[in-house]
Amino acid sequence: MTYPVDFSVPVDAGGPGAGSPIGGFGGNPLADRAAHRAVVADLGKAPVLLVHGNGGAADVRPWDLLDQKRFLLTAGYTDEIIWAPSYLGAGTVDLQTPHTDNVDDVRGYLEAVCGYLGVAVVDVIAHSLGCSLVYSVARGLKRQTSPIVWDQPKRWDRLGTFVALAGAFHGLGTSSIGEWRTGGEFMTELLAETEGGGGETPFGAGDPATGGAQPHTITYFCAIAAGDFVDAQNPGTGRLDGAVNRSYNLGSGTQGHQAIKESQAVFDDFRPLLNSTAPAPPVRLALQPPAGAQQPGVAVTVTVDPDRDVTITAERVVTEFANGYLVRTVQETIDATVRSGGGVSLTVAGVWEVTAKAVGAVPQQATYWVGVLRVEVTIVTDSSEPFDGSLLVTATASSQVATIYHSLDAEHWTSGASATINQDAVVSFVAIDPNGVSSTVAARRFTKRIPWDDQATGSVIDHFIARRIDVNEFLAYADQFGFFTPFTLYLVAGDWVLDPTRPAVAAAPSARIAARPTGGDVRYTVDGSVPTDASPVLGATTELTVPSGRAVVSYRITDPEGVRYLAVPIDND
């Protein structure tokens, strides 16, 4: 747990970790509240709340949000405005009632951060459970498991941009448990807001503005990890009608679920949407001339509107590659404070990196190759269309003596002008000559084609009745999954298959269609449902009437050996 010493840490009110201070991280532990509020005013950016998912903690891998923090810092955010609660203690799974157990934790933390920073609005980046949990806070969910009640103060006015990574707003299917059951009390009411224009994205674009100290509309972005273990259970559960909804091919199961929160490509997609409701009016700041090659003595000036003090830092640097990292060495620094039209002169040959900052403005940066040959790196692989399988991404350099390096995370680098990727990725390249003259980093996003046209989750009976599988496939999948366990099939080139990356017919069945059962107590259904004590008894002379077309007769046989189930597919076409 890392917070400023004068931040009043809320106490965990329920679920795992109850009674202890909420863990996680936030702010600069070496600065006080006044310093934090000064940073908010200086940057002009809405603070960001990072909300992890089930079984996770803000700063404990693998279900942390540290990569999101790293992306934000690289994008010009600072520690003072990045906050992340650990509302499940050390990262305990809360399976049945995770929303009602923990809603007060996130609600109290949100209010504490807003009060400490002196802001009315924050941006939220949430993952998995964190998505529907933040939505529950905004809706006004009460910490009460039965009945579900939404009578707490609504907090839509606190959300500026709401980013949901691999959420489950529509539950995890009708066979799921607790608050995750699609069609259950909680999931039915979660998206039933009537204020702010109603719908699944209240107070969104085109809707009435929120109330509160800073009225605004909310920007919604939903990223879906296609085929991950959440999306597979209920395809489309991570989408919100009215949001910017995008699907990503990052792997199936837990691989895709983890990768979506660690993907630079996903972050780059929603980054332009952040700070949709800034804490202060923006200040326009620019550097002149544009980045590029210049002669010694070039004057670099700033324009700022409205006019105010601008701090300029110019650093002459050399760059080298060492042990997988790019090592940047500053050889000379020039600092100045100027008003609009002022600037600094760069007289010594070398690579100069210039940064300009002003209160309320987005910092501006430019690189100048002063009196030296500019080194450029160009990515030659096209990214306009999604790729299949794997892709070799290649770059070239303007200097024949420069070495090219590549990275998939913009942090760890490898020598080489090409990189092979097999999922969505942002590939970065840089070129460095023997004198330490470096290019700027070139990065390009590549998207892997989602290899299926549709997906559906259900039992083998559901799939058979829906005509996704034939009788032989019914028998094969029944051997593998049983009769009533849901599993996901993917539509690839007109065929429904189990693994979209290896489309093939189902394995040969180990059994044939069973005969009509006899002996013991036999109960049956003809609609694909599980037979129960209330189902009809199958007698020796019972005539079964099944629906026309495809149907499945399900049996429950109870005899001295125990209870067993049988399902027989019937195709009347």
Is 257 in a helix, a strand, or coil? helix
User: Residue 40's closest CA among 108, 121, 110?
Assistant: 121
For helices 33-43 and 98-117, give the axis angle rounded to 10 degrees. Answer: 90
- The set of long-range contacts for 176-185, using a CB threshold of 8 Å and a minimum separation of 24, is 176/233, 176/234, 177/95, 177/96, 178/95, 178/96, 178/97, 178/98, 179/96, 179/97, 179/98, 179/99, 179/100, 182/234, 182/237, 185/147, 185/148
**Burial of residue 532, with CB atoms counted within 10 A of its CB: 0-12 exposed, 13-18 middle, 19 or more buried:** exposed
Residue 558 one-letter amino acid: T
Check: CB of residue 566 under 8 Å from CB of residue 517: yes
Query: Which domains are delineated in the chain?
Result: 23-273 (3.40.50.1820), 284-370 (2.60.40), 377-446 (2.60.40), 454-571 (no CATH)
List, in order, residues 6 or more apart from 50 with CB less than 8 Å away.
58, 65, 68, 69, 82, 83, 84, 124, 125, 126
User: Residue 395's closest CA among 426, 374, 428, 417?
Assistant: 417
Extract the tokens encoding 293.
């090659």
Check: CB of residue 243 under 8 Å from CB of residue 189: no
Name the residue with tokens 């699944």.
Answer: 200
Per-residue pLDDT at 511: 40
Distance CA 570, CA 526 (A): 10
Q: Which secondary-structure segment (H or E) carries 35?
A: helix 33-43
DSSP state of 453: S
pLDDT tens digits for range 21-60 = 999 999 999 999 999 998 998 888 999 999 999 999 999 9
Lateral strand order in the sheet of 521-525:
521-525, 550-559, 562-571
Distance CA 369, CA 353 (A): 9
Q: Write out the chain's pLDDT in tens, 573 residues.
A: 899 999 999 999 988 989 999 999 999 999 999 999 989 988 889 999 999 999 999 999 999 999 999 999 999 999 999 999 999 998 999 989 999 999 999 999 999 999 999 999 999 999 999 999 999 999 999 999 889 999 999 999 999 999 999 999 999 998 889 999 999 999 999 999 999 999 999 999 999 999 988 999 999 999 999 989 999 899 999 999 999 999 999 988 899 999 999 999 999 999 999 999 998 666 889 999 999 999 999 999 999 999 999 999 999 999 999 999 999 999 999 999 999 999 999 999 999 999 999 877 778 999 999 999 999 999 999 999 999 889 999 999 999 999 999 999 999 999 999 999 998 899 999 999 999 999 999 999 999 888 788 888 888 888 988 889 988 888 888 888 888 888 888 888 888 998 877 665 454 444 444 456 777 889 988 877 888 888 999 888 888 777 777 888 888 889 888 888 888 888 766
| CA angle centred on 224, ends 222 and 230, rounded to 5° | 120
pLDDT tens digits for range 185-230 = 999 999 999 999 999 999 999 999 999 889 999 999 999 999 899 9
Per-residue pLDDT at 10: 95
Per-residue pLDDT at 252: 84
Is 127 in a helix, a strand, or coil? strand
Check: CB of residue 156 under 8 Å from CB of residue 47: no
Helix, strand, coil in percent for the chain, rounding step 5: 20, 30, 50
553 CB neighbour count, 10 Å cutoff: 20
Per-residue pLDDT at 196: 96
Extract the tokens encoding 5.
């010493």
Per-residue pLDDT at 457: 83
Per-residue pLDDT at 510: 41
Distance CA 529, CA 526 (A): 8
Per-residue pLDDT at 573: 62
Residue by residue, DSSP assigns 305-351 as ES---EEEEEEEEEEEEETTEEEEEEEEEEEEEE-TT-EEEE-SSEE
User: Residue 250's closest CA among 270, 269, 228, 235?
Assistant: 228
Per-residue pLDDT at 258: 96
Check: CB of residue 379 under 8 Å from CB of residue 444: yes
Distance CA 243, CA 222 (A): 7
Q: Which secondary-structure segment (H or E) carries 475?
A: helix 471-481
Check: CB of residue 357 under 8 Å from CB of residue 311: yes
Per-residue pLDDT at 281: 65
Check: CB of residue 455 under 8 Å from CB of residue 490: yes
Phi, psi (deg, nearest 5) at residue 90: -80, 0
CA dist 195 → 156, 204, 217, 264 (Å): 10, 11, 12, 35
pTM of the entire structure?
0.68
Distance CA 278, CA 291 (A): 28
